[in-house]
Amino acid sequence: MNQTQAVIWTQQARHDLLGIVQYIKNHNPQNAAAIAEQIKNKTLELNLLPERGRIIPELQTQGIFHYRELIAAPWRILYKHVGNEVFILGVIDLRRNLEDLLLDRLIAHP
């Protein structure tokens, strides 16, 4: 029997999702709530299958294997599985360069 994992959204991930919803609401208000639910529902799958997502390719090439992602096109849901918890770390646009995004976040929050 699989043990259920707690899925925990970090402050950064919640901020990312809110930004996505606000952007969509400005362009297509009817669709904003549905997109938020699509992304949230995708993360719920991790409570039973925390290793479901792929290792993040850009990090894997650097020898970093403990961060994973799920795709809810056009977004990447970045997460890390630790013990009995899955931490949702961010939600980013697939079209953005992950390395640039991480650098921007490190500079913004030293």
Containing domain of residue 65, as a range? 6-108
The residue-averaged pLDDT of 39-50 equals: 94
What's the CA gap between 50 and 68, in Å, rounded?
Answer: 9
Predicted confidence band at 82 (pLDDT cuts at 50, 70, 90)?
A: very high
Predicted confidence band at 58 (pLDDT cuts at 50, 70, 90)?
A: confident
Q: Is it the case that residue 97 has pLDDT exceeding 80? A: no
The residue-averaged pLDDT of 17-25 equals: 94
Please report whether residue 25 resides in a domain: yes
Please report whether residue 71 resides in a domain: yes
Q: Which two three-digit tokens encode residue 57?
A: 């390719």
The residue-averaged pLDDT of 90-108 equals: 78
Please work out, in degrees rounded to the nearest 5, the angle formed at the alpha carbon of residue 42 by the alpha carbons of 14 and 18.
20
**pTM for the complete prediction?**
0.87
Whether 77 and 91 have beta carbons less than 8 Å apart is answered as: yes
Please report whether residue 77 resides in a domain: yes
Whole-number pLDDT of residue 2: 64
Q: Is it the case that residue 98 has pLDDT exceeding 50? A: yes
Whether 46 and 68 have beta carbons less than 8 Å apart is answered as: no
- CATH code: domain of residue 58: 3.30.2310.20
**Mean pLDDT across the chain:** 89
Whole-number pLDDT of residue 13: 96
Residue 5's beta-bridge partner residues? none
Please report whether residue 92 resides in a domain: yes
Q: Which two three-digit tokens encode residue 1?
A: 């029997």
Residue type at 5 in one-letter notation:
Q
What's the CA gap between 50 and 103, in Å, rounded?
Answer: 26
Q: Is it the case that residue 110 has pLDDT exceeding 60? A: no
Please report whether residue 1 resides in a domain: no
Q: What domain count does the chain have?
A: 1
Please report whether residue 37 resides in a domain: yes
